[in-house]
Structure 1
Amino acid sequence: MITLLMPLIISALVFVDAEIMDYPSFVDGPKSWRIPSSSDYNFRESYGVKPILVNGMFVCGFHCSYDGDNCLFAISIFSTSYDGHIRSSPQVVWSANRGYPVQSQAQLQLPHDGQFTLTDAYNFPVWHADNVDTSSSRLKLSAEGNLMLLNKASDMDWQSFDYPTDSLVLGQSLWPFQALTVTVSLPNSSRVSYEFAVNYSVGYFTASMVSYGESTASMDPYYVSPILSDADLEFQKGKFGNFSVSASAKFIQLGSDGHLKAYEWKDSKWEGTDLLPIDPCSYPFACGNYSVCLKEGCSCPVDASENGTTYFKPINYTKPDLGCYAVSPISCESFIHQSFLELQGYYFHPVKKHLISETKTLKECKALCLINCSCEAFMDTEGSCYFLSGGLSIAKNYSSGYGTYNDNSVFIKVQSSPISQSPNKNVSSPKYTSVIVSSTLGAIFGVFLICAFIILGFRKGFQEVEEDYLDNMLMLGMPTRFSYEELKNVTKNFSKKIGEGGFGSVFHGTLPSGSEVAVKHLVGFGAVNKSFVAEVQTIGSIHHFNLVSLVGFCAEKFNRLLVYKYMANGSLDRWIFNKNQESALRWHIRKKIIIDIAKGLAYLHEGCNQKIIHLDIKPQNILLDENFNARISDFGLSKLIGRDQSRVVTAMRGTPGYIAPEWLSSVITEKADVYSFGIVVLEILCGRRNVDKSQQEEDMHLLRLFRRKQEEGQLLDLVDQCRDDMQSNATEVVEMMKVAAWCLQNEYARRPSMSAVVKLFEDSNDVVRKLNEDFLNGLTWEIVGSFASQVSPFILSGPR
């Protein structure tokens, strides 16, 4: 969050005294201010702060990172020496657009007769002053750090003191229905907000924590200080309510750790003193992820069994509150070798706590957590099984508190090696030496027999584990499990084939309820089984209009079948590569399909508990229903990663022609899907395949052709000729090509997120206005047009 970012942004900010003196404390409208480009030398010289108003210890203006990004319209406080020289970096105490930073070219406008507004680089409103008289025409910063809007009669219409963020300055009050808040991201990528507020009904200041989204993190409100009069609501010199505050404290701030501190200038820095008498272990992640909070400090979970295995180590031995890391990270693909580390007499903060059942036994809780990849730990309390996913915050139970948890234990999922060895065993002893020699001699004489038993046993064991895995998935609300005989009847003995892919054939069927389905019969072993489990696990637990619906599955002996909702118009490639003018898609349908795909990918990347990277986006995997609504299908190569992971290392997978350049390093992010999406968009708009061997050699690769036409300014030549309305809407088609070009950047960091693409497409204004032309002119094409079409199929992880 931006609150966490700002200390880094401003930690080295500095002003020249003469520059400060040049800025006024008020300004009359009409007036506007624009954030300079990062290439602007004067702005870079000011180290990321562009002042607008200055008064006493306070400066109001744009506070940005060094490269001109993540800018806040904010008020900061700085310390001065007795002779007026500045001796500290500004510390943000109020911001208008906290949580919604803007970039270069954003604009702040103070009209002579209108609304005081901050807009982003695309002229989209980000913030405006609420309940303001349209006659407001003066902006003033007081010596107390209060930003005010005054009307023509010099009456105040609006003030920043009425809208506190995370701080109070001297002379500012915290009134009922106001709160100091700070929102932070937890290790599970969910968010919680710490809050310090006034509960006037009981006459107390309260400290609490509320959760956002799917997080269920909680902290009961603490009544931390009584309020005896309205005077207690004001932060005065040496006093705030019933708190003991240093007389030299200049501001009070609620930190990202949930602690409220009074800050004073001491030893050449701002130093805070905690005001809240709250047990530190009451705060989730007070000791970081995978660390245990104790009265005496933080430590990593320890295995108390006779094996004494070390599963967790501190991230930094000198800073135990930073948390711990797993020596062997949990692998969703190796759940067979997972077990549980039991911590007796502990509890975990309920961050993303899911109640599975009120009647589960301890054994059943373990089984369910093992098969659920997102489950990192569980706690069994009074017959209720709670799962924890996405980060672990543990605390010790004490008899003086947390009464209902005293007899409980936390079970943390840990990854064990398939062949683990106790560290207490002495493998060099004669006993173990003889065992090794005997085993070696036996292996020499019976190697083939042993290998056969191992293979058969492993296959049988894996099948049993997979059976248990799929059975337990049904208990977690997953799709229906069909028998093979049932699906034979549904498809009339697989008589109507409607498609065929690399892993098998697809058949039309009708369920007893009358619903039409498509049944994919997978053929093969190894990669097929892996693809099957990935498909069920991924799409079986999520639901979105632009993702194909998995109705059910069948896993019986060696048969693996997937049952989907039937899509009447088949896959996208049938429609966009068809040269028949009568069946060619109209422009508005193509545009709708592109937006549908973007929405589906945005949901996979940002709307699920875990980030899902599809890794095989292509027209063949886009299905169309009877109304040409597009739905993404085939998740057999998809990858699930935690929200705290920005990238993942994996073997190359996908389809030649749609693979992003970064696959050469095997380190990928969700931007690999963005690249594939860009290629699909071009194919839809141009009505041809990315690699078309029927074309002349110089036009065979669409991306190379696109690059050449873009340089020549002849992108209109690429628009599909099969529909007249494609030509009549050629301008809009070309603008969408530019969006595709944005998605096809060689450097994945320069590609947009899919949510940004959706916002572009759905905006009521023209796409061209929303695109930053300066950025588009800087598109890099070094690898685009060559890499994606030259990767050979044999280096991929699975056939397609």
Structure 2
Amino acid sequence: MGPVSLFFLVLATAAPLFSAAQGFGYPTANLSTLWINNNASLPHVHYRGGLAVRPILLRSQSNKYYSQSFATGFFCAPPCDKFYFAVFIVQTNADTRIVDGNPPVVWSANRARPVRENATVELTSDGELVLRDADGSLVWSTGTSRRSVAGMMITNIGNLVLFDLMNATVWQSFDHPTDALVPGQSLLEGMRLTASTSATNWTENQFYVTVRADGLYAYIVSAPPQIYYMAESNDNKEGNDTTKVTFMNGSLSIFVDPKYQDMNSISLPTARATQFMRLESNGHLWMYEWNTGEETWPAVYDVMKPKFGDCGFPTVCGEYGICTGRKCTCPLQDNNSSGYFKPIGGPEESLGCTPLNPISCQEMQQHRLLTLNEVSYFDLSDHIMNETNQDDCKQACLKNCSCRAVTFRFYQNETEGYCRWVTKVFSLQSIKFEPLDYNNSVFIKVQLGPSNSAAANNSNLILGTTIPAIIIVVLLAIAVTLYLQRRAYYDKKDEDFNFDQFARMPARFSFQKLRECTQGFNKKLGEGGFGSVYEGKLGEERVAVKRLESARQGKKEFLAEVETIGSIEHINLVRLIGFCAEKSQRLLVYEYMPRGSLDRWIHYRHNNAPLEWCTRCRIILDIAKGLCYLHEECRRKIAHLDIKPQNILLDEKFNAKVADFGLSKLIDRDQSKVMTVMRGTPGYLAPEWLTSQITEKVDVYSFGVVVMELISGRKNIDNSLPEASSNLINLLRGKARDNQLSDLIDKHSEDMLSHQEQVIQMMKLAMWCLLNDGCQRPSMSTVIKVLEGVTSIESAILNRFIDANSVMPVQDNISAYSVQPQASTLSGPR
């Protein structure tokens, strides 16, 4: 039985399941309609190669014997164990029955989260289109509940629309494009197409195309994103006019409101049959056209053609690879050095190159620039440094660790040039044989390693090996003796120390007492970079005992710190009960928090039920109050410097308390005087760690990150996700730009989704806290006023967050990496 006959048979058995206005073959559906993703409930068509569709709505474009029609429903690719709710192009006959021909998908609601057999899609009585997996979990929705929706239809150009009683559009798939465009579809300013990871993995990858005020741009994701294609408009936009790019027959046209005069066009082949275009995983925007004779969709035109052809695409030779014609090579200094990069994979794979020694910000004195003459770089972004001569351009890059390469271009008969920098190096292009009116060089930052320094150190190495072993033994013996004498001196000094000089000390415990109360440090609650925490019991009270490791200060300094922390008391700060300072042992005794740290409840590490929205709101307010006390109500400001879910503890009623404030000073006294490089936990660090003085506003930034983790139910940095969505804050900026903030709400919690408007307002507060400029972030007292409804968020905050450059400017001197703190008591990472 062929696929057409099979379809007729299934359609006959499925017909009673649909009313006249709801069934397959009709372009519309009414409210309160439920579709189940299985063969018994929906008509289904299987294609050659294993593709299958289960359509629910069909819009036939003509009554021809064969024509291309748009349908919406469930789609799967082999082995068909994952399904997508999508809009796809199908071939139909004069009876509007689907016939053979591979159906390309032009829009998908759940590309990052496919569903299984027996998943459902429902147009609810409230007017919301909802997709749920087979277990009932919410996967996606239009968010149009109670917005006067009267029905749903698929239009004759492939737009899935929810409409009201006046036939006005309430929601449409064209407002939420994925990776494809169909004729008649427009991308408005701020919208984007994002490529899939591969033909079989539909999650978003690092390429996207978007419309800006002055035209169409293609980017590859980095920090900041890098432009590899642009089609600018012919005139400057004025006022609040909206730029849009429309796919038309024979052109991709750039328009501006309100007159919609054609400002610029990208010429395309005139259509002979149905067309669509898709942003592919390699960054190409290909146009496809139906070939009736072969019943296929061949690629007929590459819409974006960089100046240097395929070599102008960012990943054609992988990271650091140099493209020359169709050949990829690794960078060589003046074509005679091979000591810095090695190819990834085999010689024919073109997977890129990897540095032999990764760049280390702790060893900036070992950074050098590899000179690549007659080489160009695709990036067209405006990351131009002020330096106008080549030497200054190179030195500026060497002084900033985030700079990974600079390009310097100067035109003939000119003495000055243009210096651009990048923070991530993708493919480069050889321009040796190109007829150009300019010269261009690329300088790639490399890290010197042992092999690079061998020649300079050979004589010293030979000399060193001749030193008699007896001298080394003697030196080691002297060092051990001095160490033991010094330790004995400080132990005796500690024993003679007078505790009475500290007036406000918490309880003091002996080491033996704390060993007994923890049953020999038997039950570990957690550990960090500065020690481990154990559960204990003092009398009837449960406690948490933190045993510090590698403490380098004397008892006097330790006790001074304990006195300071012990005097700080607030309902939203974890209470210090006591301490132990006995010889080299340093321990702290805290109140016990039975619910543990916040991360276990929002990252679902223990298969726990999702927190309700009201609980999350209370936790956010508790954190804000604890930080406000440290910043504004203590005798001296205390900047925590490592706010993250692991340092937020919860009591039995899910009241939140900030933990580990002030403890880094107990470990390394010098760090309270001079900041070296950056401190804290990656993903929670404010941008000013690189370039400016540190204030308590770094905690405000970290607070914003924690708020977003609470809202989304995921980690800020999650490398298990595709690169394009692995960074939550970058993803937030993109969703805010596309007006898709609801996509970030924790899908585990239906309660969160039912409070969507309140959650989005909380996201806007997080955006305020996440501004790159620390001076523009709110104080924690202002945050509390917003949370309590006393103060509203400034209307311009969202735009400032969206437009922010995610990389701070290049600094002129190395002092950006060794910052003197202001008049705050600086805490640090745990």
> When the two structures are superposed, what TM-score results if normalisation uses the length of structure 2?
0.44
